[in-house]
Amino acid sequence: MRRFFLASVAAALLFVLFFLGLNLFDAKPAPAAPGGDEAPALEANLEPGNLFFLVWGFAEPPETDPLSPEYRQRVVELFAIRARPSPRLVRSPYGQWLAQLSAAAARHWQGANFLFPQESAAELGGQFAAQRERIGELGLRFAPLLSRFRRLLGAGALSDFTPLNWDCPPRSLQLATFAAKHHSASAVLAALDGRWPEAADALLDELDAGLRLLSGARAIRTNALGRAMVELALRSLAALLNRSECPPGLARRVFARLPERPVAAFGTAAARDFQLRSFQAAVGRSKRERIVDPMLLKDFFRQPASFFALERFVAISGAGVFSAVHALAAFLLQENETTALMRGFWDDVGRLEAIPPWQAGAADRPQLRGVPGSGRHAPLWWLRNPLGKMMARSSVPYTWPVVRHYALRGHETRARYELTRLLAMARLAWERGGGLGVTELKRLLDAAAPDPFSGRPFRYGRGTATLYSLGADARDDGGRERLEMWRDSDIVVAIRFVNRDS
């Protein structure tokens, strides 16, 4: 028995020594930017002409001007406070500000949401005309909110200045989305009142501003705001082009401002880079301060409170044990290798955004890969840098089905953009020839960019009167689109002026 006990102790000691030896040496530093390049410096454009202050200030009370010198100074001071070291137990000034914004939103902007129909084949003009009174009431009641949105559309500079490990205030982004819905509906109503050029320009300005946010948004939520603005504008433009009273020349006006755009224009390159930089900064802080951030382990402790409960349990033995546990964990954490794991994951997401979905295979699925050069599933993979792998896994924002959907959103938005261009081209052909037959329409589809979800031309649904893409499920649903929250179905743009007898 004694011999067995000594052998067990010796085996345990050998394992501990082996584990320590395996984790003493970090990987070599690697480029920080997704895609393998060195990351450019993050510039904070806090100049008065940068209208991104409006995005941050949407939830502020009506009397606050987010473009005033006082508001700008408040944001600059908030960032400066965060940059200075402070006691860990002091409540974050940013957290206090978020609480104030939530209170202001509940007090001043309650009821600002506008239910924009989700079905792309819906006749938006008729639906908005039936709600004209309510839309008008919302416009009067929330005039300052809508004024902020209109000012945003004319931005000379719209440069995201969000600091690492921060996010644009969620309540502000939510209210900006509500304002975008109302702006799009109001533009459609303006067209119905005869102001067609004004309405088209308003929607095209919204589209341009949304694309600028898509390309420059540092946070995923801000990227989502840009995508929502793009899709609302495109659907509203399609509704105008389908109206029987649409004046000659409007289709040309729309088509001129819908040039061919690369896939990257609809992706998340800036957001992916920002996510990786924020993760790298958090891991570096854990190494320097020798305190493990509970938010980097949120998947293993379902709530941060659970992690702090564990900390309190350790603290019962005294501050020495508490500090030693964190210091040992930080010592064994491999900073370079942990960052490389996350960079590999975001590289995979970027590849999914760049490759047409019909060409993507299982090898392109985002995942946490092994140490560079050691293979995807190297021997003893989880024994090396286990804390770093736990942090990386916790910081992957979504499970695989949601990541897949998230990575495909750029292709979905691009498909809707290309379908709207096709609709404008079809309207031009209809105006030139006094009508449009199915044969001519199919020639337009064959000559245009292919459907990213099939590699073949976009389709015309004769029975549903739609132009459509197959969507993420790559199945032909005949031009029927489900609600966005369940969307794996077709991506649809209505077309109501085709001569079906030809």
Q: Which helix (H) or strand (E) holds 420?
A: helix 400-433
Asked if 82 and 94 count as a contact pair (C-beta separation under 8 A), the reply is: yes
Which runs of consecutive H residues, i.e. helices, occur in 84-131? Answer: 93-108, 124-130
Q: State yes or no: pLDDT of 120 exceeds 70.
A: no
Radius of gyration (C-alpha) of the chain in whole angstroms: 27
At residue 221's C-alpha, the angle toward residues 484 and 118, to 5°, is 20
**What pLDDT band is residue 89 in, cutting at 50, 70 and 90?**
very low
Q: In whole angstroms, what is the distance from residue 320 CA to residue 363 CA?
A: 47
Amino acid (one-letter) located at 213: L
Beta strand residue intervals within 171-306, DSSP E: none
**What pLDDT band is residue 320 in, cutting at 50, 70 and 90?**
low
Paired sense of beta strands 491-494 and 466-469, if any: antiparallel
**What pLDDT band is residue 310 in, cutting at 50, 70 and 90?**
low
**What pLDDT band is residue 366 in, cutting at 50, 70 and 90?**
confident
- Tokens 């990786």 — which residue? 276
Q: In whole angstroms, what is the distance from residue 124 CA to residue 122 CA?
A: 6
Q: In whole angstroms, what is the distance from residue 164 CA to residue 15 CA?
A: 38
Retrieve residue 339's tokens: 């960052």
Asked if 209 and 158 count as a contact pair (C-beta separation under 8 A), the reply is: yes
- Tokens 């958090």 — which residue? 282
Which distant-in-sequence residues (6+ apart) come within 8 Å of 235 by Cβ?
120, 124, 184, 416, 493
Asked if 27 and 336 count as a contact pair (C-beta separation under 8 A), the reply is: yes
pLDDT for 349 equals: 85
Q: Which of 31-40, 71-80, 179-188, 240-249 is least confident?
A: 31-40
Nearest Cα residue to 412 out of 343, 480, 476, 353 = 353
Q: In whole angstroms, what is the distance from residue 452 CA to residue 472 CA?
A: 9
- pTM, entire model: 0.88
**Within 13 Å of residue 449, how many CA atoms lie on the same side as its CB?**
19
Q: How many helices (DSSP H) and strands (DSSP E) are in the chain?
A: 18, 3
Q: In whole angstroms, what is the distance from residue 462 CA to residue 442 CA?
A: 11
Of 474 and 426, the one with more pLDDT: 426
Query: Where exactly are the structural domains of the chain?
Result: 36-258, 283-397, 409-502
pLDDT for 88 equals: 47
Of 500 and 443, the one with more pLDDT: 443
Of 230 and 285, the one with more pLDDT: 230
Q: In whole angstroms, what is the distance from residue 299 CA to residue 292 CA?
A: 14
* 494 phi, psi to nearest 5 deg: -70, 150
Q: In whole angstroms, what is the distance from residue 464 CA to residue 18 CA?
A: 66
pLDDT for 96 equals: 84
How many other C-beta atoms are found inside a 10 Å radius of the C-beta of residue 48?
11
The sheet with strand 491-494 has its strands ordered as 459-461, 466-469, 491-494
Note the residue count of the chain.
502
Q: Which of 11-15, 231-235, 271-275, 345-349 is least confident?
A: 11-15
Task: List, for residues 181-240, the tens digit of each pLDDT value.
Answer: 999 999 999 999 999 999 999 999 999 999 999 989 998 889 999 999 999 999 999 999
pLDDT for 54 equals: 95
Three-state DSSP class for residue 491: strand
* 410 phi, psi to nearest 5 deg: -60, -40
pLDDT for 452 equals: 92
Asked if 229 and 210 count as a contact pair (C-beta separation under 8 A), the reply is: yes
23 Cα distance to chain centroid: 35
Q: Which helix (H) or strand (E) holds 493?
A: strand 491-494
The torsion angle over the Cα atoms of residues 210, 399, 361 and 31, rounded to 10 degrees, is 70
Q: State yes or no: pLDDT of 8 exceeds 70.
A: yes
Look over the chain and give the mean of its residue pLDDT values, rounded to a whole number.
83
Task: List, for residues 371-415, the tens digit of each pLDDT value.
Answer: 443 345 556 666 788 888 888 888 876 666 666 666 788 899 999
Retrieve residue 209's tokens: 């501003």
Mean of the pLDDT values across residues 332-348? Answer: 86
Q: In whole angstroms, what is the distance from residue 201 CA to residue 432 CA?
A: 23
How many other C-beta atoms are found inside a 10 Å radius of the C-beta of residue 352?
21
Q: In whole angstroms, what is the distance from residue 139 CA to residue 12 CA?
A: 71
Asked if 254 and 436 count as a contact pair (C-beta separation under 8 A), the reply is: no
**What pLDDT band is residue 362 in, cutting at 50, 70 and 90?**
low
Q: State yes or no: pLDDT of 35 exceeds 60.
A: no
The interaxial angle of helices 386-395 and 269-289, nearest 10 deg, is 140
Q: State yes or no: pLDDT of 353 exceeds 70.
A: yes
- Tokens 């603005």 — which residue? 229
Q: In whole angstroms, what is the distance from residue 369 CA to residue 275 CA?
A: 17
